Homo-oligomer: A and B are copies of this chain.
Amino acid sequence: MRRILTATLISLTAMPALANDDIVLRGMGSFHIGGRIAEVSGKPVREIVRQPGGPLTKLDSNGQYMVEQMYVQYFLPKNRKGKFPLLMWHGGGLTGVTYESTPDGREGWLNMFVRKGWDVYNSDAVERGRSGFASPDIWPSEPTFLPYQDPYERFRIGDGAGSWNADPAKRKVIPGSQFPVEAYDNYMRQSVPRWLSTDKAIIDAYVALVDEVCPCVLLLHSQGGAFGFKVAEQRPAKVKAIVAVESATAGIVSNAPKLKDVPVLMMFGDYVDDHPRWAAFKKIDTEYANAIRAAGGTVDWINLPEIGIKGNSHMLMQDKNNAEIAEVIQKWLASKGLVD
């Protein structure tokens, strides 16, 4: 089913592709956690245009605002098999949508891990998606916006810099790509602006979540790894395992010994060593892993091509073989005694 949205934009639908089995939940819902009431004072009353062509109207921004809370949605399967809740934390410029349906409408890891019997808590980091964001009076920097072609070249969908072309037929897809390139538009619809000044607020909200729902297992992707390891360093007793998928930097090396009792799985997709950006992240993650190991901890490492799983982009959970990779993770979790 294809629809033409504008003269230049053809969109694959991402409507329901139903799996064979029902999903039976003993509960589902959402909540926000963390945050603070921020006070804005001493700002002059400004005149702003609220609607294009409209009049200048006064805006008094002084007052109190609720900011830096985090949105969390949960799904609790009836047939629970995971011993602890599984918390899914997304990467930069994205939201929890990362783990929902794939851009081409298949089931994502959220459904898959619920089906495997995990209580799943899927969140939007502070300032992204349903977490909302604060005004320039409260956050002193501005958001950044990801150009349309950027992830194509950077996330190992296309074959690196120069692989993008405005004409889809002329784009250079990475050989054997598992990414659903035909649905790249839908992937970019998932993109949200990001701030570069909010790390502390993001980590604080994640810590509040861990304090609320853990002990738990953390499933981290990309920038979510940079946050997740730092959160785990603050709450090592509450984190029973970490699965870090292409973690884009990790924790603080001097704190790594705090994770000596937390089993960790580091996982990377294909072509990582060929792309300097990803090779650099892998090197940082390796140093962090080695620091955990040096303290007596356990870090398992899977480069997917080395176990015969090839062509994976940075968005492993959306790739066409996402079910196969979920099963690799599930087996590792079971090997750590985390599955009943």
Taking a contact as CB atoms under 8 Å apart, the answer to whether A65 and B13 are in contact is no
Taking a contact as CB atoms under 8 Å apart, the answer to whether B65 and A145 are in contact is yes
Closest residue of chain B to A62 (Cβ to Cβ) is B147
Chain B residues closer than 8 Å to A140, beta-carbon distance: 49, 52
Taking a contact as CB atoms under 8 Å apart, the answer to whether A6 and B36 are in contact is yes
Chain B residues closer than 8 Å to A170, beta-carbon distance: none
A215 to B190, CA, bound (A): 26
Q: Tell me if A59 counts as interface (CB < 8 A to partner B).
A: yes
Binds B, one of A26-34, A236-244, A311-319, A328-336: A26-34
User: Which residues 201-255 of A have a CB within 8 angstroms of B?
Assistant: 208, 211-213
Chain B residues closer than 8 Å to A61, beta-carbon distance: 145
**Copy count, this protein chain:** 2
Closest residue of chain B to A8 (Cβ to Cβ) is B37
Chain B residues closer than 8 Å to A15, beta-carbon distance: 31, 212-213
Taking a contact as CB atoms under 8 Å apart, the answer to whether B3 and A50 are in contact is no
Binds B, one of A71-79, A273-281, A291-299: A71-79
Closest residue of chain B to A190 (Cβ to Cβ) is B32
Q: Tell me if A340 counts as interface (CB < 8 A to partner B).
A: no
Chain B residues closer than 8 Å to A8, beta-carbon distance: 37
Taking a contact as CB atoms under 8 Å apart, the answer to whether A97 and B34 are in contact is no
Taking a contact as CB atoms under 8 Å apart, the answer to whether A5 and B208 are in contact is yes
Q: Tell me if A180 counts as interface (CB < 8 A to partner B).
A: no
Taking a contact as CB atoms under 8 Å apart, the answer to whether B59 and A144 are in contact is yes
Q: Tell me if A327 counts as interface (CB < 8 A to partner B).
A: no
Taking a contact as CB atoms under 8 Å apart, the answer to whether A193 and B100 are in contact is no
A160 to B15, CA, bound (A): 43
Question: Given B3, B111, B186, which contacts A31 in the complex, CB threshold below 8 Å?
Answer: B186
Taking a contact as CB atoms under 8 Å apart, the answer to whether B51 and A32 are in contact is no
Q: Tell me if A63 counts as interface (CB < 8 A to partner B).
A: yes
A83 to chain B, nearest CB (A): 17
Chain B residues closer than 8 Å to A197, beta-carbon distance: 50-52
User: Which residues 278-324 of A have a CB within 8 angstroms of B?
Assistant: none
A190 to B72, CA, bound (A): 11
18 contacts across the A-B interface (CB closer than 8 A)? A5-B36, A9-B35, A16-B29, A19-B27, A29-B105, A29-B107, A29-B108, A30-B100, A30-B101, A31-B101, A49-B140, A50-B144, A63-B148, A65-B145, A65-B146, A66-B191, A124-B130, A135-B193
